[in-house]
Structure 1
Amino acid sequence: MSRRSAREAAMKLLYEYSITDILSKDTIKEAPDVLEADTLDEDNMRYIDSIVEQFPEKREEIDTIISENSHSWKIDRIAKVDLAILRLALFEILYMGIPDKVTINEAVELAKKYSADKSYKYINGLLGGYLKKGEA
């Protein structure tokens, strides 16, 4: 499984979390076909595990960043898919050491695949604006 596929699985887990408030590795076992878990290699499983284990304690900080940089939408009005993508991207930028450009590009690609037609522009703008402020 490529990192892009692992990122997609992580985004789906964060999407589920935004609805259920439950973030668990058990979801991978319960829905392996949806998350393509049968193709997860050890490195990509560690990537997903890191997000599952650490995101809940980092959520408030990440959501504050989203709120402060989303000039047109309050966080509770952001589409759940877009919110999951933004949360994943900010987690990668802040805690995983993944290069900013890679993270933003991957977030845009996820938005093009899963979000409304113009959502990728919103996601790109929010993440780019945050990084321009030099806060990351």
Structure 2
Amino acid sequence: MNRKLSREKAMELLFGMTLSKDTMEDAVEAFVENYEGDIKEIDLTYVKQVLIGVNNNKEAIDKVIQENLHNWKIERISKVNLSILRIATYELLYDKEVPRGVAINEALEITRRYSDEKSVSFINGVLDKIKQD
């Protein structure tokens, strides 16, 4: 199983859930049914853990993100970037199995694939501040 790919799929699902208001169960079920790659490459346990963790701690995660924004409101962040920030912040605060540097680096790699270079710098700055807290 590929943790990097699993993290990316968790972000895609979280983003999709933000737009569709699907439950985690419905989103994961639809993902499994429609995934065109080898589903064995995805660590579904990890994906669910991240989605549940973000959902259960969303208020605290968003508060930490907001506290570490400079001249920004969380509402202004694109849904993709917010999904990336939420997962990375969840990993930094709650998932002690993921090294802090890995959480940030993986978030930046996902940002490069799904957003632009300005977003990479923005997310790096926010996560670096969160890491220092």
Which category describes the TM-score, using the shorter chain as reference length? 0.7 to 0.9
Structure 2 vs 1, CA of residues 37 and 60 (structure 1 numbering), >3 Å: closer, same or farther?
Answer: farther
Equivalent residue number for residue 9 of structure 1: 9
Shift of 1:116: 2.2
What does residue range 1-136 of structure 1 map to in structure 2 within 5 Å? 1-32=1-32, 33-34=34-35, 36=37, 38-40=39-41, 44-97=43-96, 98-132=98-132, 134=133
Q: Please give the secondary structure, in 2, of the residue aligned with 1:53.
A: helix
The one-letter amino acid paired with 1:7 is R
Asked if structure 2 preserves the Cα contact closer than 8 Å seen for 1:18 and 1:80, the reply is yes
Structure 1 unaligned segments of length 5 or more: list them: none
Structure 2 unaligned segments of length 5 or more: list them: none
Give the TM-score of the pair, scaled to structure 2: 0.87
Question: Alignment identity in percent?
Answer: 36
How many equivalent residue pairs? 131
Structure 2 vs 1, CA of residues 23 and 89 (structure 1 numbering), >3 Å: closer, same or farther?
Answer: farther
Query: What is the CA–CA distance in structure 2 between the aligned matches of 1:28 and 1:92, rounded to whole Å?
Result: 20
Q: Please give the secondary structure, in 1, of the residue aligned with 2:117.
A: coil
* Coordinate RMSD, CA, aligned: 1.9
Query: What is the CA–CA distance in structure 2 between the aligned matches of 1:111 and 1:40, rounded to whole Å?
Result: 21
Asked if structure 2 preserves the Cα contact closer than 8 Å seen for 1:12 and 1:35, the reply is no
Query: What is the CA–CA distance in structure 2 between the aligned matches of 1:71 and 1:31, rounded to whole Å?
Result: 35
Query: What is the CA–CA distance in structure 1 between the aligned matches of 2:37 and 2:48, rounded to whole Å?
Result: 15
Shift of 1:40: 4.0
